A and B are shown apart, each in its own frame.
Chain A
Amino acid sequence: ILNVEQSPQSLHVQEGDSTNFTCSFPSSNFYALHWYRWETAKSPEALFVMTLNGDEKKKGRISATLNTKEGYSYLYIKGSQPEDSATYLCAFSSAGGTSYGKLTFGQGTILTVHP
């Protein structure tokens, strides 16, 4: 079973604060790392899919970095807004074996942005 860990489990910030959270995953047989944003009562939606060591992706105020050699990814939110409040999920896929083609999700980081 692949272990994907996210930290912190939850985070409360004030509007305008910048924040970041971490996803740790196995560093061997890496294929891809996904980030999803899941708002209450909605479906999870993909933010980023990253496949190369050193990848940096950006969408508006949200960005992510990837280090496959040490097995971690950071998600950054600059100038948090209340509408950024959501659960942020990362998911890892392995290149081979029985994990081929499947994503293993972390438990998520719950972000609450207070006005």
Chain B
Amino acid sequence: DADVTQTPRNRITKTGKRIMLECSQTKGHDRMYWYRQDPGLGLRLIYYSFDVKDINKGEISDGYSVSRQAQAKFSLSLESAIPNQTALYFCATSDPGQGVTGELFFGEGSRLTVL
């Protein structure tokens, strides 16, 4: 089983719908991240959390919200999905014991299509 699990792996939805992408991890890492990947662009940070009580906006947080339900769970919500949120979404974790920016461990990605 993957150490960082994302659900769903694929989702097609319509404009205006609320969508939640879930991420759970068994690595015991405090730090969790949500990234978005678009063709021709790098991974862009949406939100990150350094522990359960710490949530921070990344560079492209507009239109998204997150919830850190437990150390192991970090969910990303699109309150009202729009077509330009069609992308591949990655959850990642890191170990603060590896330094301020330790190696990221990625989930397998959630491909979201908004029609």
A contacts, CB < 8 Å to B: 1, 4, 9, 31-32, 34, 36, 42-46, 49, 51, 89, 91, 93, 100-108
How many A-B contacts at CB < 8 Å in the complex? 65
From 19 to 48 in chain B, residues with beta carbon under 8 angstroms from any chain A beta carbon are 31, 35, 40-45, 48
B contacts, CB < 8 Å to A: 2, 4, 31, 35, 40-45, 48, 50, 58-59, 90, 98-109
Contact (Cβ within 8 A) B40 A42:
no
A5: min CB distance to chain B, Å: 10
Query: Among B2, B42, B45, B58, which residue has the most Cβ atoms of chain A within 10 A?
Result: B42
Contact (Cβ within 8 A) B90 A43:
yes
Contact (Cβ within 8 A) B99 A51:
yes
Chain B facing A: main interface SS: loop
**A44 (CB) vs chain B CBs: closest residue:** B106
A34 partner, pick from B58, B100, B104, B109, beta carbons under 8 A: B104
CB contacts (< 8 Å) of A32 on chain B: these are 99-101
